[in-house]
Chain A
Amino acid sequence: MELFWLAIGTIVVGVFGCVAWFWGSNWILDRIYPPRGPNAGDNIRKANQIRPWLFLGPAILFLGVYLVYPIFDSLWRSMHNARGSEFVGLSNYAWHMGDGKFRESMRNNMLWLLVVPALSTLFGLIAAQLTDRLKWGNIGKSLIFMPMAISFVGAGVIWKFIYEYRAPGEPQIGLLNAIVQALGGDPQLWLTLIPWNNFFLMIVLVWIQTGFAMVILSAALRGIPEETIEAAILDGASPWQVFFKIKVPQIMGTIAVVWTTITIVVLKVFDIVFVMTNGQWGTQVLANLMYDWMFRGTPDYGRGSAIAIILMLLVTPIMIWNIVNARREVR
């Protein structure tokens, strides 16, 4: 109950604080440069130069402290030793390059990067097209979309249950092994099955992200001008041709957006690996490796930061692409 009041108190203080800042700073500004009297015009112009920064102030402060400063601090730390007391140049990076676990993480991240965005987008596209004209399409969409609301940890439990293993011949309680056994195969410990276990982890993320891809692509499909489709049908195009030759090319831009968005999620994937295998059996990924350097055993902030910076470098091309696109839209 105490917690409850603490939370309510914070909301009140936080909300009140924000409102007080915005309202108060505006009020003060209007006192200093009153929008009336002999200098009204001049005052209004001056006030209007300052006002945007009052509105933006808290946001800039938060973005600066919680996102911009950490990038530079991480960069600085990645070139220092474990405790940050001595400059070591690029030796943390060099050390990682020679480290087996780091190479394994890089390889796995690249594997995730190839598989997850591709499969999610593909399934999303299929789901969007299939459910588009159905009477129960919206219910179907909701159900495919639902995993989006489930935490990665919850999804980890759900899928670990599917991969659950019992000795051959015993009744299997994991769905996958039950199917395998019913078909006459031997049940497997899927999560320790090198190298395939990586794919069993990826399936979890595909399962979560497909709904996202479906929602965006479904909207894009609906945005295609009807005339192009009708013209193709009149010309005798089969449904397949309509889909692949008319619809897909027109939504290529959206597919690219979906693809890159999922790519970002994949690069940062942490929870799924963390709770399902914790990077054992050849499934380590960068984010989990970084967590290891931060918290396991003796923390090494230098090497941990180096991994964070590598992650940052990996997302940078997409960041630039997004900015370029956003600017083009504004124009």
Chain B
Amino acid sequence: MEGMAGQKSSLVWAVNIAAFLLVLLWTIPTLGLLVSSFRDRDQILTSGWWQSFSAQEATGFVRTGTGDDAVQQDGQYVIEGTVLEEGQSLIGWGIRAREPAAFQPGETTEIEDGWQLTVAEDGSYRLTSDTPFEMRRGERIFVTTGAPARLTTENYNRVLTAEGLGRAFMNTLTVTIPATVIPILIAAFAAYALAWMEFPGRALLTAAVVGLLVVPLQVALIPLLRLHNELGIGKGYLGIWLAHTGFGLPLAIYLLRNYMVGLPREVIESARVDGATEFQIFRKIILPLSFPALASFAIFQFLWVWNDLLVATVFLGNTREQLVMTGVLRELMGSKGGEWEILATSAFISIAVPLIVFFAMQKYLVRGLLAGSVKGG
């Protein structure tokens, strides 16, 4: 028995560790982006984000003062100053570019003609000579410095104002909300009819909805673009709302119908016997009872519309005023490919709202997934 218990606890440990590693693996990519969005732009480019919280090493050089700055002390000519900026600490220094850390803080070296250079740990240097200095430009002192990790919200200020992301945020919101609300209403009525009304063709229609769930959006792009142009809708919000409503309907009807079919028959039958009209039954009984399914679909549609790039690119247009956040992000990836502080911050702003919705409403999302796992995004 003891052996079995021991085996069991080691298995529990193995499971815990394996699960932890898996979760870590899945979280790290997003974490890297989040951390990077708060980092100083220079630090992002010179060190990995996992080093964000340790001091950042950097090399550079400082020029000493010139002969004019020299003062006489004890018969020597002396130039003094500091090689450090606010907040930096000295790791090493040198007098050649190739060896920026040849000397420890506090060491002394001879540059030329009896010039002695000392750089102390606090960054102050002291260049001495027995004869007057005659150089026009200061000597270069190469330093390897450590700066404390710098976390900042500057990136967010910059991205929201200068890169047009604030505007894009509003555009995305404008696209998303009507495109989420309107299909729900249309689908709810249709789902009720499919679930609780008897009429010829019901089975066929239900099957058609299941089939339409997987129709690739690509098929609809060219025909609808032309149709919108011919109808005079063109590119704009109306077009994209209509398109998202159409594309979201199969899932909405499917989810809601499946849920409504499961509602207790007796409640609906007795309401019918009591003389309630179908409309009253729908409004007073079905809608309130179907709230979980409505919420599930609302979250799906919200996430899908918010995160969509293709439909927005095709139906909304690509001028700067019209771009949604995914569109801006895509443009930034092209034009600012190396400026990771901008990319990371913009990406994080664009995924922040879906993440909040996700964590707040996860229960409904899971429920919807379980009900509608035939659908393919």
Choose from A157, A174, A305 the contact partner of B333 (Cβ within 8 Å): A157
Q: Is the CB–CB distance between B350 and A153 below 8 Å?
A: yes
Known: A23-B279, A154-B329, A160-B333. Contact between A309 and B186, CB under 8 A? Answer: no
* Inter-chain contacts of A22 with B (CB < 8 A): 189, 279
Q: Of B47, B346, B362, B369, which is within 8 A of A173 by CB?
A: B47
A215–B307 CA distance with the chains assembled, in angstroms? 21
CA gap between A300 and B358 in the complex, in Å? 40
Question: Does A158 contact B30, Cβ atoms closer than 8 Å?
Answer: yes
Who on chain A is nearest to B275 by CB? Answer: A35
Given the interface pairs A56-B205, A326-B206, the reply to whether A14 lies near B181 with Cβ below 8 Å is yes
Contact A154 B347 (CB under 8 A): yes
Using A26-B277, A143-B27 as known contacts, say yes or no to A161 and B219 having CB atoms under 8 A apart. Answer: no
Interface size on A, residues (CB 8 A): 117
Contact of A157 among B212, B216, B249, B343 (CB under 8 A): B343
Q: Which residues of A contact B350 (CB under 8 A)?
A: 151, 153-154
Nearest-neighbor residue (CB-CB) of A22 within chain B? B189
Q: Does A145 contact B (CB under 8 A)?
A: yes
Docked pose: A307 CA to B217 CA in angstroms: 12
Residue A107 CB within 8 A of the other chain: no
How many angstroms between the C-alpha atoms of A262 and B343 in the bound complex?
28
Chain A residue with Cβ nearest B302: A149
Pairwise interchain contact B26-A207, C-beta atoms closer than 8 A: yes
User: B351 an interface residue at 8 Å Cβ cutoff?
Assistant: yes
Within 8 A of A (CB), among B1-43: 11, 15-16, 18-20, 22-23, 26-30, 32-33, 36
Cβ < 8 Å to A, chain B residues 314-367 = 314, 326, 329-330, 333, 340, 343-344, 346-347, 350-351, 354-355, 357-359, 362, 365-366
Contact A173 B227 (CB under 8 A): no
- Interface check B285, CB cutoff 8 A: no
A268 lies within 8 A of chain B by Cβ: yes
Q: Is B170 an interface residue (CB 8 A)?
A: yes
B192 at the binding interface (Cβ < 8 Å): yes
Report whether B181 and A308 are in contact in the complex, using a CB–CB cutoff of 8 Å. Answer: no
Tell me which of A87-95, A97-105, A314-322 binds B: A314-322
Q: Is residue B193 within 8 Å, beta carbon to beta carbon, of the partner chain? A: yes
B91 interface contact, C-beta 8 A: no
B305 to chain A, nearest CB (A): 11
Once the chains are docked, how many angstroms separate the CA of A140 from the CA of B310?
Answer: 31
Candidates B178, B186, B190, B278; contact of A10 at CB < 8 Å:
B178
- Encoded as 1 (CB less than 8 Å from any A CB) or 0, chain B from 204 to 218 comes to 011111111111111
Closest to B46 in A: A171
Q: In the complex where A137-B19, A152-B307, A171-B47 touch, is A315 in contact with B177 (Cβ < 8 A)?
A: no
Q: Is A65 an interface residue (CB 8 A)?
A: yes
Interface string of A277-320 (1 = CB under 8 A from B): 00000000001001100100000010011011101100100111
Segment touching B, from A126-134, A192-200, A244-252:
A126-134
User: Chain B: residues with CB nearer than 8 A to chain A?
Assistant: 11, 15-16, 18-20, 22-23, 26-30, 32-33, 36, 44-50, 170-171, 173-174, 177-178, 181-182, 185-187, 189-190, 192-194, 197-199, 202-203, 205-224, 226-227, 237-238, 241-243, 245-247, 249-250, 253, 277-279, 282, 303, 306-310, 314, 326, 329-330, 333, 340, 343-344, 346-347, 350-351, 354-355, 357-359, 362, 365-366, 369-370, 373-377
Q: List 10 A-B contacts (CB under 8 A).
A: A66-B243, A127-B19, A134-B19, A140-B20, A150-B307, A171-B46, A178-B50, A210-B26, A315-B214, A330-B206
